[in-house]
Amino acid sequence: MNKIYLLTAAFAVMASLSGCSDTELASIDTVQEKTPIGFHTVGSQMGSRATIIDAGNITSTDFKVYAFDGEGNAFMGNNDTDNDLSAHNGVHIKYDAVNSAWTYNDPSDLRYWPDYSLNFYAVSPGTVPEENSKDHYFWEINNNSQTIIYNSFDEYGTSSTHQNLDVMYAVAKGQTKANGKVNLTFKHILSQVLFKAKTNDDKLEVEIKGINFHNAQLAGSFTIPAEEPQRTDWTQNPTASTLTVGMDGQVTVKSTGTDVFTKPMLFVPQVLKPWVPSDKNIDAANKDKLTYLEISCRIKQNNTYLFGKNGFETLYVPFSATWEPGKRYVYTLIFGGGYDRDGKAILQPINFEPSVEDWGNVDDNTSTDKDIPLYQ
């Protein structure tokens, strides 16, 4: 898994010291016999229409951090409870572009190292847009359990103004003053999906206008694990729906193929059960929450339209997958057909099956042996 290194400076003791270097802070701390808690963070690469988190723009995100002592008392942030999930508690850490340093959003949140160890938990992003509040993205962090709840938007839909979020978490246990900065390795909890396309015949050409993704689960709760994140750390909510696949306009596909032509989509990790055209039509597939792609397109061969002669038409393609958190999946659509709503193939190849009749005799009363005179 690709990882992004986010280097965070030790946080300023107060606003007036926010421009000091690490060395200057260390010098001040030595005099005061206090060491502020700073963070060194590492992030994994992923993203969507919401900001893609990578080495080039990691400073565009932020995070909330919690710390608990060995008895479970909150040292940084509050113990979240079921009655206050929308508060998005935790100490807010953001990047100060003016001073090129990571700092406490509120200087009054600054904490110094105690004489005992602390367990740290962090969630990113820490700033939650209003539309991504309690119904779409929130968390419950306390010493005993750490849970993140997430619900995807149809962010590329024509009526949507909301963005999905590249949600990450980090854990660092048993940290003390001797550690210096707290090393936080951020890990993604969602799966990213993209599409390429090509045709299976160099004489076929496909014009794609739009794609919809049907019956993927959109929501669930993620329990922060002790080890690497797994799909089994998710508990899904039964909220299968339709998502619009983001595109920058119509795409023409040939046998040489395309690069990735869709915008990244973020999904709750899950196992997708595909629609089987021979068993069910689209209505039955929707009832049983079976997954498929709905593609608005036209298909032509040697400049003659075989599908969509009078304009764009819709074909359906079964889709199956197993998605794990923090993984980027790129699928290639290989066009050579597809199905209608009833599960019937839209393109039938012209095949030939020759047969040969047996040589037969002439009428029964006539001999098959004939003399052919070659003279008159």
In which domain, by residue range, is 267 found?
191-218+237-335
Residue 65, both tokens = 């951090």
Q: What is the DSSP letter of 282?
A: H
Give the pLDDT of residue 364: 56
> Is 35 contained in some domain?
yes
Do residues 123 and 168 share a domain?
A: yes
Give the pLDDT of residue 359: 76
* CATH number reported for the structural domain that contains residue 123 in this entry: 2.60.40.2620
What tens digit of pLDDT does each residue of 48-104 get?
444 556 656 767 889 999 999 999 999 998 776 555 555 678 999 998 889 887 789
Residue 173, both tokens = 């246990």
CB atoms within 10 A of CB 255: 14
Mean pLDDT value across residues 199-205: 91
Query: What are the E-state strand segments in 45-190?
Result: 63-68, 74-76, 91-96, 101-104, 118-124, 137-141, 146-151, 168-175, 182-185, 187-188
Residue 123, both tokens = 């969630």
> Is 203 contained in some domain?
yes
Do residues 178 and 152 share a domain?
A: yes
Per-residue pLDDT for 341 more than 60? yes
Collapsed DSSP state (helix, strand, coil) of residue 92: strand
Segment of 3-7, 13-17, 249-253, 349-353 carrying the highest mean pLDDT: 249-253
Q: Which residue has the tokens 């016999």?
A: 33
Do residues 245 and 311 share a domain?
A: yes
Mean pLDDT value across residues 5-21: 24
> Is 373 contained in some domain?
no
Give the pLDDT of residue 352: 64
> Is 197 contained in some domain?
yes
Sequence-distant contacts of 353-358: CB under 8 A, at least 24 apart: none
Give the pLDDT of residue 136: 84
Do residues 195 and 314 share a domain?
A: yes
Residue scoring higher pLDDT (4 or 256): 256
Give the pLDDT of residue 29: 27
Q: Cα-flanking dihedrals φ and ψ of residue 31, to 5°?
A: -65, -40
> Is 360 contained in some domain?
no
> Is 89 contained in some domain?
yes
Give the pLDDT of residue 46: 44
Q: Cα-flanking dihedrals φ and ψ of residue 86, to 5°?
A: -80, 0
Give the pLDDT of residue 3: 27
Q: Which residue has the tokens 């023409």?
A: 252
Q: Could you tell me which residues are beta bridge partners of residue 175?
A: 118
Do residues 202 and 311 share a domain?
A: yes
Do residues 115 and 26 share a domain?
A: yes
Mean pLDDT value across residues 232-249: 92
Do residues 52 and 67 share a domain?
A: yes
Give the pLDDT of residue 2: 33
Residue scoring higher pLDDT (71 or 371): 71
Residue scoring higher pLDDT (78 or 110): 110
H or E stretch at 25: helix 22-32
Residue scoring higher pLDDT (39 or 25): 39
Give the pLDDT of residue 312: 97
Cα(323)–Cα(87) distance, rounded to whole angstroms? Answer: 30
Per-residue pLDDT for 5 more than 50? no
Give the pLDDT of residue 284: 97
Q: With pLDDT > 90 as the criterion, what percentage of the chain qualifies?
A: 55
Q: Which residue has the tokens 């997430």?
A: 150
> Is 53 contained in some domain?
yes
Per-residue pLDDT for 1 more than 60? no
Residue scoring higher pLDDT (8 or 337): 337
Cα-Cα end-to-end distance for the chain: 95
Sequence-distant contacts of 350-355: CB under 8 A, at least 24 apart: none
Do residues 55 and 176 share a domain?
A: yes
Cα(137)–Cα(44) distance, rounded to whole angstroms? Answer: 19
Residue 182, both tokens = 């707290």
> Is 135 contained in some domain?
yes
Give the pLDDT of residue 133: 58
Do residues 163 and 247 share a domain?
A: no
pTM equals 0.81
Query: What are the E-state strand segments in 108-190?
Result: 118-124, 137-141, 146-151, 168-175, 182-185, 187-188
Give the pLDDT of residue 99: 83
Give the pLDDT of residue 70: 92
Residue 68, both tokens = 């608990």
CB atoms within 10 A of CB 220: 21
Do residues 195 and 171 share a domain?
A: no
H or E stretch at 3: strand 3-6
Give the pLDDT of residue 22: 24
Amino acid making up residue 152: S
Do residues 136 and 51 share a domain?
A: yes
- Provide the number of structural domains found in the chain: 2
Amino acid making up residue 129: P
Which positions ≥6 away from 373 have C-beta within 8 Å? none
CB contact at 8 A, 233 and 223 = yes
Give the pLDDT of residue 59: 76
Do residues 250 and 102 share a domain?
A: no
* Helices first, then strands: H and E counts in the chain: 2, 25
Give the mean pLDDT of the chain: 80
